[in-house]
């Protein structure tokens, strides 16, 4: 029996298998940010342990970083977290991309764009959206603070091996449908717990035709189905994306690495614990209507009626709609929007800004809309300026902000006020995720752009 891509990478990193227990797994790359790292460093101090392999660790602040200015962080707690990360990295000799430096940004954007994340790696971070890095053909998982301390001290982690699932998406995506829409569609079909206990490999012609940045979006949202990891087999798209980037192998080292990476695919006779298939033609631009990413519909569709859901699901549906101020059976297209947010580790890359600009070019931002357009890194921001996208945005009445996690979560100044409706390219629409009482609808950059210029939820296909 052949091996899956996940099995090949996992087996190559096993240090030892504990009888009736977890696997001791070697970790190639640990990413750290300011929120989950302080306790891990304190654990090292308490135990008198040093960092085993600091050269394999990269840290940067992102959650608390302001997007309007970065001279200071007004919030005392956030400021302390950022300052503490810097001190800890200096003490333990860890590479640190400080706020406002050319290398800084959201850790799940910076890692792939600098080729710090490479095929065949095991990658962990104290953040659930670490699954993003699986798009390059790696096992990438979010871990807890105690596990971060394990990796700091030993470059290993104790993990139960998950089961494997392959999600096949065949066919062709219709115009206006993006990787974000694909992910939202899968979650609506499988629910937010549909991949719990599995490592997912995305496959099929739709995935193969995606750009690298689209694949990063798809893998980013794996955790929203309950999966710890979302992998995509590396191919020519992957190699072209990584070649020549700052930390990519060079010369003969690249040739040797690429030869190895070409073996990172599931064998033809590999057997997955579960397989699921979808058709690209069935996927339209999507929006969410509830308070979890799986509560979604086509942008021109309607919220389910009570008759369309099972009896045990009705209280949950009503609870979500009560918070969102919607009703069963309602069509959301044409609903006024208060805020829009373009950014996050889901959609804060250069292709997302190109897509947004393609809609707003020659148009004007609606007067009723507050817009936060936040690049995922300083490198993305430099590309936006170099390509003249900043001028297109400015002419349409939009302000380009500074790299930050921004309005993805209510940990910095970019909070959506209570009761206001935000159309967002981020990854979660939980109660209070973007601010206490804020209402969040998840969508693609195209849908967000179309809605930003009309002032209401708008099908982007009308503007393409």
Please name each of the domains of the chain with its CATH number: 5-162+248-257 (3.30.499.10), 163-235+266-282 (3.40.1060.10), 289-458 (3.30.499.10)
pLDDT reported for residue 232: 98
Mean pLDDT of the chain: 97
pLDDT at residue 406 is higher than 90:
yes
Residue range 16-28: mean pLDDT, rounded: 94
- Going by C-alpha positions, the residue among 212, 264, 49 that lies closest to residue 40 is 49
- Residue 231 contacts residue 202 (beta carbons within 8 Å): yes
Q: How confident is the model at residue 146 (pLDDT cuts 50, 70, 90)?
A: very high
Count the alpha carbons within 13 Å of 60 in the hemisphere toward its beta carbon: 24
pLDDT reported for residue 100: 84
pLDDT at residue 120 is higher than 90:
yes
Query: Six-digit token pair at 425?
Result: 């390219």
- Residue 88 contacts residue 37 (beta carbons within 8 Å): yes
Query: Six-digit token pair at 429?
Result: 């629409």
pLDDT at residue 160 is higher than 90:
yes
pLDDT digits 0-9 by tens, 351-382: 999 999 999 999 999 999 999 999 999 999 99
- Residue 352 contacts residue 449 (beta carbons within 8 Å): no
pLDDT at residue 19 is higher than 90:
no
pLDDT at residue 454 is higher than 90:
yes
Q: How confident is the model at residue 13 (pLDDT cuts 50, 70, 90)?
A: very high
Q: How confident is the model at residue 20 (pLDDT cuts 50, 70, 90)?
A: confident
**Residue 276 to residues 8, 170, 200, Cα–Cα distance (Å):** 21, 11, 10
Q: Which residues contact 320 (CB under 8 A, 6 or more apart)?
A: 289, 290, 291, 292, 295
- Going by C-alpha positions, the residue among 125, 64, 55, 123 that lies closest to residue 95 is 55
- Residue 163 contacts residue 271 (beta carbons within 8 Å): no
pLDDT at residue 243 is higher than 90:
yes
Q: Which residues pair with 270 in a beta bridge?
A: 2
Query: Six-digit token pair at 428?
Result: 């979660």
* 77-109 burial: b if 16+ Cβ within 10 Å, else e: ebeebbebbbebbeebebebbebeeebbbbbbb
Residue range 144-173: mean pLDDT, rounded: 97
pLDDT reported for residue 433: 98
pLDDT reported for residue 88: 98
Residues in the chain: 464
- Going by C-alpha positions, the residue among 298, 80, 63 that lies closest to residue 182 is 298
pLDDT reported for residue 430: 98
pLDDT reported for residue 252: 98
- Percent of the chain scoring above 70 in pLDDT: 100
Q: How confident is the model at residue 1 (pLDDT cuts 50, 70, 90)?
A: confident
Rounded to whole angstroms, the Cα distance separating 309 from 387 reads: 47
Q: Which residues contact 57 (CB under 8 A, 6 or more apart)?
A: 29, 30, 31, 32, 51, 94, 95, 152
């Amino acid at each position: 029996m052949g091996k899956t891509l996940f099995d090949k990478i996992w087996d190559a990193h096993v240090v030892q298998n504990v009888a009736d227990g977890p696997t001791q797994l070697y970790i190639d790359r640990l990413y750290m940010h300011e929120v989950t790292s302080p306790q891990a460093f304190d654990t090292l101090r308490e135990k008198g342990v040093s960092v085993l392999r600091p050269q394999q660790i990269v840290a940067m602040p992102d959650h608390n970083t302001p997007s309007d200015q970065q001279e200071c962080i007004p919030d005392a707690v956030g400021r302390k977290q950022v300052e503490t990360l810097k001190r800890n990295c200096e003490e333990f000799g860890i590479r640190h991309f400080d706020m406002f430096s050319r290398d800084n940004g959201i850790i799940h954007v910076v890692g792939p764009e600098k080729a710090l994340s490479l095929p065949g790696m095991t990658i962990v971070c104290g953040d659930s959206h670490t699954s993003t890095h699986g798009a390059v053909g790696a096992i990438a998982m979010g871990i807890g603070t105690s596990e971060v301390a394990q990796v700091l001290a030993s470059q290993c982690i104790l993990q139960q091996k998950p089961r494997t699932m392959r999600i096949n998406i065949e066919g062709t995506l219709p115009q206006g449908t993006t990787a974000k829409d694909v992910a939202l569609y899968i979650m609506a079909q499988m629910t937010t717990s549909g991949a719990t206990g599995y490592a997912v490999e995305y496959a099929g012609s739709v995935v193969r035709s995606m750009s690298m940045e689209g694949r990063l979006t798809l893998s980013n949202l794996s955790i929203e189905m309950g999966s710890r990891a979302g992998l995509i087999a590396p191919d020519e798209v992957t190699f072209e994306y990584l070649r020549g980037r700052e930390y990519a192998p060079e010369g003969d080292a690249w040739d040797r690495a690429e030869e190895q990476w070409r073996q990172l695919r599931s064998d033809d006779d590999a057997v997955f614990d579960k397989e699921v298939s979808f058709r690209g033609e069935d996927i339209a631009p999507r929006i969410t209507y509830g308070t979890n990413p799986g509560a979604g519909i086509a942008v021109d569709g309607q919220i389910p009626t009570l008759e369309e859901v099972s009896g045990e699901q009705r209280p949950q549906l009503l609870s979500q709609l009560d918070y969102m101020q919607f009703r069963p059976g309602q069509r959301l297209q044409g609903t006024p929007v208060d805020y829009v947010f373009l950014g996050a580790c889901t959609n804060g890359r250069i292709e997302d800004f190109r897509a947004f600009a393609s809609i707003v070019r020659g148009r004007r931002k609606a007067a009723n809309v507050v817009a936060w357009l936040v690049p995922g890194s300083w490198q993305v921001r430099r590309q936006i300026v170099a390509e003249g996208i900043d001028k297109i945005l400015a002419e349409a009445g939009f302000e380009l902000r500074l790299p930050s996690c921004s309005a993805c979560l209510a940990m910095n100044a970019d909070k959506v006020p209570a009761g206001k409706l935000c159309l967002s390219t981020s990854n979660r629409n939980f109660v209070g995720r973007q601010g206490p009482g804020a209402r969040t609808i998840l969508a693609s950059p195209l849908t967000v752009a179309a809605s930003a210029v009309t002032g209401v939820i708008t099908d982007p296909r009308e503007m393409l």
